[in-house]
Amino acid sequence: MQEFIIESISNELDQAIQKKIDLKTKPLGALGTLEKIASKVCQIQGTLSPSLNKPAILVCAGDHGITEEKISPFPQEVTFQMVMNFLGGGAAINVFCQQNNIKLLVADTGVNFDFHPSKQLIDLKVRKGTRNFAVEPAMTVEECTKAMVNGQKIVENLHNEGTNVIGFGEMGIGNTTAASALLCKYTKCTAKEASGAGTGLDASGINHKADVIDKAIKLHSEINSPLEILATFGGYEIATICGALLKAAELKMLILSDGFIATSALLAAHAINPNIIDYCLFAHQSEEKGHQLMLQHLKAEPILQLGMRLGEGTGSAVVYPLIESAVQFINEMSSFEDAGVSNKE
């Protein structure tokens, strides 16, 4: 597997950043989380004058063989139907991206459907859905690596176009089961702790999901390397996002980390190179059970907690205006000296 050169962010600017924030015309800490966001963006960009350029969200879609185990109340064809909804502009992520002037890209990484060629849809299909990981590995290592490389190329292209802030979303019936299995393998939590309602399972359905995951983990008990774990239990959309995340950090882009499934890709990326966390802002805490465990494992503090659990990258799109506000205040707000206002003695 390709080695990702992700530099750990140095703290040499930390004092200067904090001084600039503290000298703004406000009491110390009065802008709360916005101050933390501004500081983080400055650290990532290595500057006291940060900028947000050409924001983009990449939504990756893929199907999952694990649906054969009846772990979702929705049929698999909902995946391609929702992709068509993205292309038609009718999904939540379309609305929020349009509202906040965020470029939206939609990629078919492994949907079990033949789409007509479209300028709106990026064809990254590796295979028509993963295999059933309750029976065999979801992907071969080669397939998983191909999906990761696809994600890297998309991010590299965006970076070359001037994008320096990126978020990720997903669509794939069955992918909360894949994400839960990845959570178990990367954090050593139990299947029961990791399994939630997904697209609307009742208590019985959640218990069944946990049983399926538990049996699959026992079946593949010898799998331990980060890449093999991702290939065995993940999905093409998750692997694509994982590769994209690693490339974004390597290019020192600001990463907006979204909800449960997108964060499972970040778990994989973190297992490959822990320095990736230095480049992430965590948009929100999903209501999907298990996301809190992911955030705890990554020692991450989410910006929002709105009771959301939709996916698609919606958390990242919704939080973006707050990040803009943080960048605006550190760049545009007057200091006490500039404004001729007396500071605290």
Active-site positions?
312
Residue 338 CB partners (closer than 8 Å, separation 6+): none
Query: Which residues on adjacent β-strands are paired with residue 257?
Result: 282
Quick one: which H or E segment has residue 62?
strand 56-62
Rg (CA), the chain: 20
Distance of CA 266 to the CA centre of its chain: 6
Q: Measure the CA–CA gap between 112 and 236, rounded to whole angstroms.
A: 11
Evaluate whether 88 touches 98 at the Cβ level (below 8 Å).
Answer: no
- Tokens 């290019």 map to which residue? 251
Among the listed residues 176, 118, 136, 156, the one whose alpha carbon sits nearest the alpha carbon of residue 250: 156
Number of helices (H), then strands (E), in the chain: 14, 6
Q: Which residues contact 324 (CB under 8 A, 6 or more apart)?
A: 52
CA distance 334 to 267: 40
Q: d(Cα 210, Cα 321) in Å, to the nearest integer?
A: 37
User: What is the distance in angstroms between the CA of the first residue and the CA of the last residue of the chain?
Assistant: 57
Classify 24 as helix, strand or coil. strand
Q: Copy the structure tokens of residue 70.
A: 């009846």
